[in-house]
Amino acid sequence: MSDERRLEVLRAIVEDYVQTREPVGSRTLVERHRLGVSPATVRNDMAALEEAGFIAQPHTSAGRVPTDKGYRLFVDRLSDIKPLSSPERRAIQHFLEDAVDLDDVVDRSVRLLAQLTQQVAVVQYPSLRRSALRHLELVPVGDRRLLVVIITDNGRVEQRTLDLETPVPDLVVPELRARLNATVAGRRLVDLPQPLEEMTHAFPEGDRPLVHRVIRVVEDTLAEATEERIVMAGAAHLARSGTDFPGTIRPVLEALEEQVVLLRLLTEMAEDSAGVAVRIGHENTVEGLVETSIVATGYGGDGEAVARIGSLGPTRMDYAATIAHVRAVARYLSRILAG
């Protein structure tokens, strides 16, 4: 048995099983696919694949189904990623470009991906730890109040109000705004403390208390906002895939409720691959997700992703289509945040 023919047989089994949810027999493979060999030869190939652990025989059927190991080999050798149609690309672009702010962008992205894949979609909010500041705005509000607005390069906006004991000095605020932006623009948030501290020496002694207070508000705000979170959509799709979970989908749903668990999983997957990463079945470190597969990739940033986006479903998923959809939404999401 040639390795190439064995891979073709495995590919055919995976594709048929994903489409039909039914165990696949040798006669079916010969009828549906141009394998160029007899059913007897295909049976021998299937026996070899089963012995190697790539497929298994459910006790109620004479057909075979892929194992986690079989799906892994299939994904690793996957060369044909289904291209998105022109209507799909236009729909994604139009739907995301209408977003009004970061929250809306993330919400639209997760709902869109869930709709495209008919699976659970997960989007991690852009991480402030890997973001850079785009702009700081200081807006006097009344006589003794100053609004501090922090805008990151991925569109995240945080604002705080600073109450002052004395009136807001008219001349100091414009200079402080200009010096702050000259100091912080393009810098990663983790690299700001020292430059901000050095900047205070450019101001007269009498103005430094205000400068220190503004810097403290900026640093405290960033410290508070570094808690990472995710949004999720499409959990109802799991109910339609109930037959893909031999026992119950309850462990899956319970795992999805734990944001810390999902964040850790997405972080681990970022270490798997700089591109699209795929975790299949028991490759998942979360016990409740051992009957699922996750496809995830990074988005945002210039050369470094600031967050992850992914799709989760049963191991019997259309991997080529899921990879294409996850990658496409991530690319459009990156473009919008960069714009």
**Of the residues 224, 254, 281, which one is the last residue of a structural domain?**
224
Co-location of 178 and 243 in the same domain: no
Query: Could you tell me where the beta strands, DSSP code E, fall in the chain?
Result: 55-56, 65-66, 120-124, 133-140, 145-152, 157-163, 230-233, 277-280, 292-299, 307-314
Residue 140 and residue 249 in one domain: no
pLDDT of residue 119: 95
Q: Is residue 281 part of a domain?
A: yes
My answer on whether 250 and 327 are in the same domain is yes
Handedness of CA 328, 334, 336, 338 (dihedral sign): negative
Q: What is the tens place of the pLDDT at every residue in 210-230?
A: 888 888 888 777 666 555 788
In this prediction, residue 330 has a pLDDT band, given cuts at 50, 70 and 90, of very high
Domain count, the chain: 3
Q: Which two tokens stand for residue 213?
A: 């207070």
Together in a domain, 332 and 238: yes
Task: Tell me whether residue 309 is in a domain.
Answer: yes
Region 300-323: what's the mean pLDDT? Answer: 86
Is the pLDDT at 243 greater than 80? The verdict is no
Helix axes of 102-117 and 319-338: crossing angle, nearest 10 degrees: 170
In sequence order, which residues have a C-beta less than 8 Å from that of residue 249 and are 6 or more positions away?
Answer: 238, 239, 241, 242
What is the extent of the structural domain holding 323?
86-127+228-338
The reply to whether 39 and 119 lie within a common domain is: no
| CATH number of 93's domain | 3.30.450.40
For the stretch 148-165, pLDDT in tens is 998 877 677 888 898 988
Same domain, 120 and 233: yes
Q: Are residues 37 and 93 in the same domain?
A: no
Task: Note whether 194 and 110 are same-domain residues.
Answer: no
Q: What is the pTM of this model?
A: 0.78
Spatial CB neighbours of 213, under 8 Å, sequence gap ≥ 6:
162, 164
Are 207 and 118 members of one domain?
no
| Share above pLDDT 90 across residues of the chain, in percent, rounded to a whole number | 32
Query: Would you say 5 and 45 are in contact if contact means Cβ atoms under 8 Å apart?
Result: yes
**Is the Cβ–Cβ distance between 81 and 61 less than 8 Å?**
no
Cα-Cα end-to-end distance for the chain: 53
Residues 276 and 322 in one domain: yes
Task: Answer yes or no: do 134 and 214 share one domain.
Answer: yes
Is 233 in a helix, a strand, or coil? strand
For position 27, which CATH number holds?
Answer: 1.10.10.10
Judge whether 81 lies within some domain.
no
Same domain, 140 and 207: yes
Average pLDDT over residues 166-182: 87
